[in-house]
Amino acid sequence: MKRIIKSSLLLAVSTVVLTTAIHAKSVELLNVSYDPTREFYQEYNKQFAAYWKQKTGDDVTVKQSHGGSGKQARAVIDGLEADVVTLALAYDVDAIREHAKLLPANWEKQLPQNSAPYTSTIVFLVRKGNPKHIKDWDDLVKPGVSVITPNPKTSGGARWNYLAAWAYANQKYGSKEKSKTFIKALFQNVPVLDSGARGSTTTFVSRGLGDVLIAWENEALLVSRKEAPDQFEVVYPSLSILAEPSVAVVKVTADKHKTTAVADAYLKYLYSEPAQDLIARSYFRPRSASALKSYARLYPNLKLVTITSLHKNWADAQKVHFSDGGIFDQVFENKAK
Amino acid sequence: MASSASIGDGTVIRRILIAITVLFLSVFLVLPILVVIVSAFQQGMHTYWAAISEPEALDALRLTLIAAGVAVVSNTLFGLSAAWMITNYSFRGKNLLITLIDLPFTVSPVISGLIFVLLFGGRSVVGRWLIDHGIHIIFATPGIILATCFVTFPFVARELIPLMQSQGNQEEEAAYMLGANGWQIFWRVTVPKIKWGILYGVVLAAGRAVGEFGAVSVVSGHIRGMTNTLPLHIEILYNEYQFSAAFAVATLLLVFALVTLVLKRYLEYRIDRKSEAL
């Protein structure tokens, strides 16, 4: 009798355990992102999984895919089934909306601050001791200075780099023609154009090419503080650009996967204090004032212009500078001659 | 013998030639292999083991083996039937077919990958229909298998066609006259004649399939733990500044390459003996 009671108790307990196990759903998300966010999302995915588990009891695993921002947008257009995209610039998310109709037209308004939960800017990374005395954009066009930057045709980061230089030239020289000459002189000093930001960093850091790398601030901090401490220095120019990497739920795909709720929460949680703190620790500029305050020494104040002060919108900037026959093509073709 | 002795007579020339060969081999072969091995173990045995036993590396290894396995089996079947057809029958367009088989060798791997993206991508009619019905080709395992098949597909056929052509089909004809059916002829006459050739093609195809980067990179989508093969995983590790880990995983490919090389050498030896016996 005792044994029967014991075993039926065991049965009851195991049934309860089993059914709760069944009730805890396990969800999978695919986050298609750009190059320099690898380290950040690796950590954030753990943070969000813990938060989601505590809130709903469900397990969520986030798969990551990284590459040049433009290339990643292409892959999503071609059928890579991302639930969320976290790309380098709004233009690439917009390309997905335009060519594949996977997002609503107002995707940028779905989340606070233009759907950009973190920002960054463009800075210079130079070798220890700054042997070529690089202080500002003007130093990059001097003869004998070798500049590393990726290809603006394929890399989102490279477009920010280019536009930061453009903004500086515009402010200093005023006229479009003179800015063009400046950009031309700058690209004359570029020996190699990699296809993505990470590729350029590797060219500069591991292959030892170039005197200065124009880079994302987050990439420059990552290298100079974590990956190769004491070998490089970050130089802040007098003026740079406010880069707002965009995040968005790929609505159509998420609806199909029935992951819209998790995907929404995944992006919203980026704005929470713990996530903002992680963002600041991962060398991105946080939106939250308190996180920014705690890490103020990492992120010096700097004159930052926005893309909208230079152009009507990204599509316009893209057309003027980077489309076939645009200013970049003009100055780069001339380089060969 | 006398003529060859006079060619290699000058000891100076001989030494120079040997020196050039040794120098060339050390710079292009031995040094890179040493760099891979040294870098792989630079941070100690522990890092090495961690790099090759982490789940993402194992997933990449598994996907690589699946893709290579399917590619080798299907290309062996294709190569056999193509070679059999080309040597035993004559038909219009035979030379065109032989030329077409070589196509994957002449097309750049990136283009090979793009072909599948254009064919099965979300913007093609076929691709849209498949995706709407929940069938994923590119950015999933089938795409990686397809791309691997495509780039390795000439190996077995290329090996077998000249072999079977040079051997002729008298034996098959004799077997036919003696009353054997097609199946018997194939298994008892043809296969024994060409088995070393098949294995040689298989080894070459497997070597290429495991190491393929370009075509697979285009169709992969680079989802960690899902659509990364070993070469893609190595690139990712390298880009994440995990140099030791990248080289540790590279040693897996190195081991595979060495095994392929030894097998290839052995098969060449067997094929040579076979042709001497004939």
DSSP string for residues in A219-263: HHHIIIIIISTTSEEEE--SEEEEE---EEE-HHHHHHHT-HHHH
Q: Decide if A79 and B238 are in contact by the 8 Å CB cutoff.
A: no
Mean pLDDT of all residues in B145-151: 94
Q: Decide if B238 and A202 are in contact by the 8 Å CB cutoff.
A: yes
**From B222, which residue of chain A is nearest by alpha-carbon distance?**
A65
Length of chain A: 337
* pLDDT, averaged across chain A: 89
Q: What is the DSSP letter of A333?
A: H
Longest dimension (CA), chain A: 97
Closest by CA position to B156, among listed B209, B98, B199? B199
In a domain, A142, yes or no: yes
Indicate which CATH number applies to the domain containing A312.
Answer: 3.40.190.10
Q: Which of A71, A80, A207 to mutate to test the interface with B (most CBs of B within 10 A)?
A: A80
- Considering the domain architecture, whether residues A167 and A22 belong to the same structural domain is answered as no
Between A337 and A236, the higher pLDDT residue: A236
Last residue of a domain, one of A231, A252, A271: A271
Please count the structural domains in chain A.
2
DSSP H or E segment with residue A212: strand A212-216
Q: Where are the alpha helices (DSSP H) in chain A?
A: 2-23, 38-56, 69-77, 90-100, 112-115, 156-173, 176-188, 197-205, 217-221, 251-257, 260-268, 273-281, 289-294, 307-310, 314-317, 327-336
In a domain, A292, yes or no: no
Q: Which of B241, B242, B243 to mutate to test the interface with A (most CBs of A within 10 A)?
A: B241
- Considering the domain architecture, whether residues A199 and A312 belong to the same structural domain is answered as yes
Instruction: Provide the token pair at B106.
Output: 């002449």
Range ranked top by mean pLDDT from A41-50, A310-319, B24-33, B88-97: A41-50
Q: Decide if B127 and A63 are in contact by the 8 Å CB cutoff.
A: no
ipTM > 0.90, yes or no: no
Partner residue facing B223 (CB), from A30, A38, A79:
A30
Mean pLDDT of all residues in B6-29: 85
* Rounded Cα gap, residues B245 and A286, in angstroms: 31
Residues of A with CB under 8 A from a CB of B: 30, 35, 38-39, 63-67, 75, 77-81, 99-100, 198-199, 202, 206, 227
In a domain, A103, yes or no: yes
Tell me how many residue pairs between chain A and chain B have CB atoms under 8 A apart: 54
Q: Which fold has domain B44-277?
A: MetI-like fold (1.10.3720)
Instruction: Provide the token pair at B117.
Output: 């993206």
- Considering the domain architecture, whether residues A184 and A313 belong to the same structural domain is answered as yes
- pLDDT tens digit sequence for A170-210: 999 988 899 999 999 999 999 988 888 888 998 999 888 99
* Rounded Cα gap, residues B198 and B207, in angstroms: 14
Q: Which domain holds residue A82?
A: 2-116+244-271
Q: Dihedrals φ, ψ of A33, to 5°? A: -125, 180
Q: Which of B119, B124, B217, B223 to mutate to test the interface with A (most CBs of A within 10 A)?
A: B223
In a domain, A233, yes or no: yes
- pLDDT tens digit sequence for B248-268: 999 999 999 999 989 988 988
- Considering the domain architecture, whether residues A326 and A313 belong to the same structural domain is answered as yes
- Considering the domain architecture, whether residues A6 and A87 belong to the same structural domain is answered as yes
Q: Decide if B131 and A78 are in contact by the 8 Å CB cutoff.
A: no
- Considering the domain architecture, whether residues A178 and A257 belong to the same structural domain is answered as no
* Rounded Cα gap, residues A155 and A215, in angstroms: 12
- pLDDT tens digit sequence for A73-94: 999 999 999 999 999 999 999 9
- Considering the domain architecture, whether residues A256 and A110 belong to the same structural domain is answered as yes
